[in-house]
């Protein structure tokens, strides 16, 4: 059974299925939240290539940004983050104008698990 057949048998809404398989006639809002590092921005860039309306989930990244600016992050040189490549741009305005410049400036990363989701509600 294919993913498409499985989704249909589970009663998944057809608009989502069409969007997932690139057959949608309208855009569906989609958001990405990963770590505050260059690798996550590279993932975002790839997701935007596939799902052109993908954006960063701003509440999560705003909380991470505050932690990085407060000095509560770890240097890129630690924790196996040193092999990451700067994607230069992702195609998301928020990532390209805010997150990537801060990553370059601070040279610090933050794992998304370090953010309290209850505090974002």
Specify whether 38 is located in the same domain as 93: yes
Residue ranges making up the domain that contains 48: 33-120
Specify whether 100 is located in the same domain as 86: yes
Specify whether 22 is located in the same domain as 79: no
Specify whether 100 is located in the same domain as 48: yes
CA distances from 83 to 10, 78, 89 (A): 41, 10, 18
For the chain, the domain total comes to: 2
- pTM of the prediction? 0.78
Digits of tens for pLDDT over the chain (121 positions)?
444 555 455 556 777 777 777 777 667 778 999 999 999 999 999 999 888 788 999 999 999 999 999 999 988 887 566 678 899 999 999 999 999 999 999 999 999 998 887 777 6
Specify whether 95 is located in the same domain as 50: yes
Q: Among candidates 1, 92, 81, which has minimal Cα distance to 36? A: 81
For residue 34, give both structure tokens.
């990963």
Specify whether 54 is located in the same domain as 113: yes
């Amino acid at each position: 059974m294919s993913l498409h057949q499985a989704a249909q048998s589970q009663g998944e809404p057809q608009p989502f299925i069409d969007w997932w398989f690139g057959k949608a006639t309208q855009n569906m809002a989609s958001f990405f939240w990963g770590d505050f590092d260059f690798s996550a921005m590279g993932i975002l860039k790839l997701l935007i290539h596939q799902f052109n309306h993908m954006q960063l989930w701003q509440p999560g990244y705003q909380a991470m940004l505050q932690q990085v600016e407060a000095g509560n992050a770890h240097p890129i040189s630690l924790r196996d983050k040193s092999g990451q490549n700067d994607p230069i741009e992702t195609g998301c305005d928020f990532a390209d104008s805010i997150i990537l410049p801060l990553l370059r400036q601070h040279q610090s990363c933050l794992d998304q698990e370090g953010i309290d989701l209850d505090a974002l509600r």
